[in-house]
Amino acid sequence: MVLAVVIPDRESRLRELLASMNHAPGRVDRENRLVPFARFPALHMARLVLLDDKTTGDVRAHGLEPREYPLYLAFLGDIDGAERDFLEELAAKAGEGLREIFSCCEGFSPEDDLVGWMWSHRSPPLANYVNTRGRTVRQVHQEAALYEALEKRMDGSPEEFAGLNPREVHSRLRKFSGEEQAAGRLTLSPEEPTPAGWWIRDKLHLVGMPLLMLLLSPILLLALPVYLIILRHREKTDPEVVPVYDQEAADHLSELEDHDVTNQFSAMGSLKPGLFRLLTTYAVLGVVDYAARHLVHAGRLGRIRTIHFARWVFVAGKERMIFCSNYDGSVESYMDDFINKTGFGLNASFSNGIGYPRTNWLIRDGCRAEGKYKEYLRRHTLPTQVWYKAYPGLTAVDLERNTRIRKGLDTTNLSREEALEWAKLL
């Protein structure tokens, strides 16, 4: 995420620029003049969002006067490969457009080195979730094309397939896929090797974090009772701030949504004041990040299967945070999924934000106050000015299906059961 302060008297200019990247609100022009997203083969999703947080006054509930924050512009992308390489590519293909955008931000001058400037304005996420690590944009497109070709082949001659058993179907389609590839109509690139440096860092992280925890465990164990006492006290006394959100603002958010089977979500809020909640945030998001990186099944965040990418990032300092995600379906089903399937995780991370519905033992209740929670979340949601997704029409479950089909086709000899499971995917 690149984060920059907007120069106040250039805000309206910036809003115009951002609007010019869309065909209509919520519908990006994939080839827009400023950042032609579609020309970046490593880019899954991207967004430009103004961090216009309307809830900074909520800190009054804790007896503090709200601070004046500048308006920030955040530019987020989910990419394959190294960040630095992608920034280089951005500068090469969209340099002029980005200069136009960033010239509305403080500290940017036209003679600046664009890559260096973006690099120095990065904000690393506290926690990051990727639906399926290692699945590239190229792979997504290739597997989607494969799926469509197979479906077309079968729909073209249903009588040919009608009487076949799954293994025969598999071998026939395998042969077809081979012929299509030979004729250059389909491409299925072999998986790219994982860079050695990345692999080593990943394994060090896998082992290092638990080791660190083990080392710290005597201290942590001693601190735990104290922690719980403070937690229980805070939970019972922290104020809830859940006014009904403004109807016009709500309708504006809805105008930006449901243009694709996937939606963007950007939410912002302030952390409850004090060290206690800050430490809890670090701990909870540390666990989330570690689990998302090393533990969870591909395609699943807990029981949720509709999230492509999600991340939690501090905004300039440690007082405010944004949560950005890309999820399938409408916002109502997204919120319901969170409440009913991973309410515990949601409570643990979001209850450190000011005004969150009351939790019990950090993970209980909270979002189970469904009505309050939904008002809370919608009120903290930011309109996302520009949002891009490289593969419209495809959900995370679609991507998983297509990968399963591709993997099945890669295999020569499927058992009867395997072939049956595979055929069900079509």
Partner 1 sequence: MNAQVDFSDVQGLVRFGYKRMTKAHYDLLQVKDAGAAREWLRQAPVTPAETRDPPPKTALQVAFTVEGIRALGTDESIIEGFSHEFRSGMAASFKARQLGDTGKNAPENWEWGGPGKEPHLLVMLFGEPDVFEDFLSAQTGGLYQQAFELQACLDTADLDGVEPFGFADGISQPKIDWEQKKKSREIVYTYENLSALGEFLLGYPNEYGNLTRRPLVDDNALSSSLDPAPEDPRKRDLGRNGTYLVLRQLDQDVRKFWDFIRKQTGSEDPDADGLAAAMVGRHRDGSPLVKPSGQGDDDNNFNFDADPEGHQCPFGAHVRRANPRNADYPERPRNIFRKLLVTLGFGTPGFRDDVMSSVRFHRILRRGREYGSELKPEDAKGPPPADEPPRGLHFICLNANICRQFEFIQNAWLNSTKFAAMTGERDPLVGNHEPPAGCPVANHFNRPGKDGLRQRVTGLETFVTVRGGAYFFLPGLRALRYLAGP
Q: Which of 369, 382, 408, 415 binds partner 1 (CB under 8 A)?
A: 369
17 alpha carbon, distance to own chain's centre: 24
Closest CA to 160 of 149, 172, 177, 148: 172
Task: Choose one: 62-70, 123-131, 150-158, 314-322; the region binding partner 1 (CB under 8 A).
Answer: 150-158
Q: Which of 64, 200, 228, 425 binds partner 1 (CB under 8 A)?
A: 425
Under rule CB under 8 A, residue 397 binds partner 1: yes
Q: Which alpha helices (H) appear in 351-425, and where do they start and end?
A: 370-380, 396-410, 416-424
Beta bridge partners of residue 303, listed in sequence order: none
Of 15 and 368, the one with the shorter C-beta distance to partner 1 is: 368
- Considering only residues 313 to 342 of the shown chain, the ones binding partner 1 according to CB under 8 A are 328-330, 332-333, 336-337, 340, 342
- Strands annotated E in 232-289: 262-270
Least distance in angstroms from the C-beta of 410 to partner 1: 17
Under rule CB under 8 A, residue 305 binds partner 1: yes
Q: Which of 392, 410, 411, 415 binds partner 1 (CB under 8 A)?
A: 392
3-state class of 295 per DSSP? helix
Under rule CB under 8 A, residue 160 binds partner 1: no
Residue 143, exposed/middle/buried by CB under 10 A (0-12, 13-18, 19+)?
buried
Determine if residue 403 is left, alpha or beta; phi over 0 gives left, psi from -120 to 50 gives alpha, anything else beta. alpha
Of 137 and 301, the one with the shorter C-beta distance to partner 1 is: 301
Under rule CB under 8 A, residue 142 binds partner 1: no
Least distance in angstroms from the C-beta of 425 to partner 1: 6
DSSP string computed for 94-120: HHHHHHHHHTTBTT--TTS-HHHHHHH
Task: Choose one: 111-119, 131-139, 163-171, 206-214; the region binding partner 1 (CB under 8 A).
Answer: 163-171
Under rule CB under 8 A, residue 173 binds partner 1: no
Under rule CB under 8 A, residue 259 binds partner 1: yes
Terminal-to-terminal C-alpha distance of the chain: 38
Least distance in angstroms from the C-beta of 340 to partner 1: 6
Under rule CB under 8 A, residue 419 binds partner 1: yes
Task: Choose one: 13-21, 164-172, 271-279, 310-318; the region binding partner 1 (CB under 8 A).
Answer: 164-172
The span from the CA of 259 to the CA of 257, in Å, is: 6
The span from the CA of 75 to the CA of 83, in Å, is: 13
The span from the CA of 298 to the CA of 141, in Å, is: 18
Under rule CB under 8 A, residue 29 binds partner 1: no
Q: Which of 5, 302, 316, 360 binds partner 1 (CB under 8 A)?
A: 302
Under rule CB under 8 A, residue 423 binds partner 1: yes
Tell me which H or E stretch contains 308.
strand 307-315
CA dihedral defined by 273, 279, 283, 284, rounded to 10 degrees? Answer: -10
Under rule CB under 8 A, residue 125 binds partner 1: no
Count the residues of the shown chain that bind partner 1, applying the rule CB under 8 A.
Answer: 64
Q: Which of 106, 113, 255, 410 binds partner 1 (CB under 8 A)?
A: 255
Of 90 and 301, the one with the shorter C-beta distance to partner 1 is: 301
DSSP string computed for 204-241: HHHHHHHHHHHHHHHHHHHHHHHHHHHHHHHHHHSPB-
Under rule CB under 8 A, residue 124 binds partner 1: no
Of 112 and 375, the one with the shorter C-beta distance to partner 1 is: 375
Q: Which of 257, 293, 319, 360 binds partner 1 (CB under 8 A)?
A: 257
Under rule CB under 8 A, residue 394 binds partner 1: yes
CA dihedral defined by 397, 400, 406, 409, rounded to 10 degrees? Answer: -90
* Residues 342-361: x where in contact with partner 1 by CB under 8 A, - otherwise, as a string: x-x-----------------
DSSP string computed for 107-168: T--TTS-HHHHHHHTB---SEEEESSTT--HHHHHHHHHHHHHHHHHHHH-HHHHHT--HHH
Count of positions (residues) in the chain: 426
Under rule CB under 8 A, residue 289 binds partner 1: no
Q: Which of 68, 111, 191, 251 binds partner 1 (CB under 8 A)?
A: 251
In the complex, which residues of this chain contact partner 1 (CB under 8 A)? 148, 154-155, 158, 161-162, 164-166, 169, 244-245, 247, 250-251, 254-255, 257-261, 291, 296-297, 300-305, 328-330, 332-333, 336-337, 340, 342, 344, 368-371, 375, 391-395, 397-398, 400-401, 404, 419-426
